[in-house]
Amino acid sequence: MFLDFHGRVAIVTGAGGGLGRQHALALAARGAKVLVNDLGGAVDGSGGSVSAAQAVVDEIRAAGGEALANGASVTDFAAVQAMVQQAMDAWGRVDILVNNAGILRDKSFAKMDMADFALVVQVHLMGAAHCCKAVWPHMQAQNYGRIVMTTSSTGLYGNFGQANYGAAKLAQVGLMQTLAIEGAKYGIHVNALAPTAATRMTEGLMPEDVLAALQPEAVVPAMLVLAHESAPTRTILCAGAGTFEAAHITLTQGIHLGQGADVPEQLAARLAEVTARGAGEQVPQSGAAQGTNEVAQALAAHR
């Protein structure tokens, strides 16, 4: 099955370079009309110019595609709403949102300025929330939508010097989980992409031969799968160097210990049983699954 996007309208944030640019080019090449958003700032979020977004729009148009440029900061909700309205005015709908915009302010947590922590969270988490909120009523009205969050292995598994980035990136997964539940009855599928790619944000962090294998283009197929009408929902798809994996947030079966005075000691002694992977482990379909499992074991223990 060819992943066709003709008739679809996509908004890609942070699409003036790197991974976002590749996302925008790929969607346009497969027929989507694309609003290319980019603040045009430095990796740390400073500065700004619409020229980066316009350059990608020019590329798309030169190849015969249809695109518009937008220089809004995703941290500015009013500007984000205007961005979505720009797409609505031009094309009458918004089918796809790829939340790709991001910045880095890396330092060990001991040395990190809390203003840098807050700004990274503002761009990655609040930026994604602003964009989702702005497209949501339009997707509800048309009973169709595909939203792709950009999470990270740093958010999923941690990385030295990136406490701010990791916190914001895992928060996007939490946003995905609930929006997927709330969007289900409107045909809105929400997923997350965890890319490993050589971009401005990874320069100097890896050896040259590794960077050569991690071209942003290699991640794009995962985005296309998550943005297509055949997309799953609530999937965390990982991609890099042409390899694709899935990440899952799971719940172990656990053990029931009751509420006795010695439960702390019992729990300490049997913690390996609580954390053991395998039989009974599940990928919960909602937060209620945890409580359901806990109460079920409690009731069974008292029968």
Say whether 98 sits in a helix, a strand or coil.
strand
Classify residue 44 by its DSSP letter: T
* DSSP alpha helix (H) spans, 71-219: 77-91, 114-121, 127-142, 153-157, 163-183, 208-213
**Distance in angstroms (rounded) separating the CA atoms of residues 101 and 125:** 10
Distance CA 32, CA 30 (A): 6
Residue pointed to by tokens 């205007």: 82
**Known catalytic residue at 165:** yes
Task: Single out the catalytic residue among 144, 157, 165, 186.
Answer: 165
| Contact yes or no for 37/57 (Cβ under 8 A) | no
* Gap between the Cα atoms of 35 and 161, Å rounded: 33
Question: Which among 301, 264, 220 is positioned nearest to 21, based on CA atoms?
Answer: 220
| Rounded distance between C-alpha atoms, residue 49 and residue 47, angstroms | 7
Helix-strand-coil split of the chain, %, nearest 5: 45, 15, 40
Which residues does residue 282 pair with via DSSP β-bridges, in sequence order?
A: 251
The sign of the dihedral angle between the CA atoms of 92, 98, 104, 109 is positive
Positions marked catalytic: 165
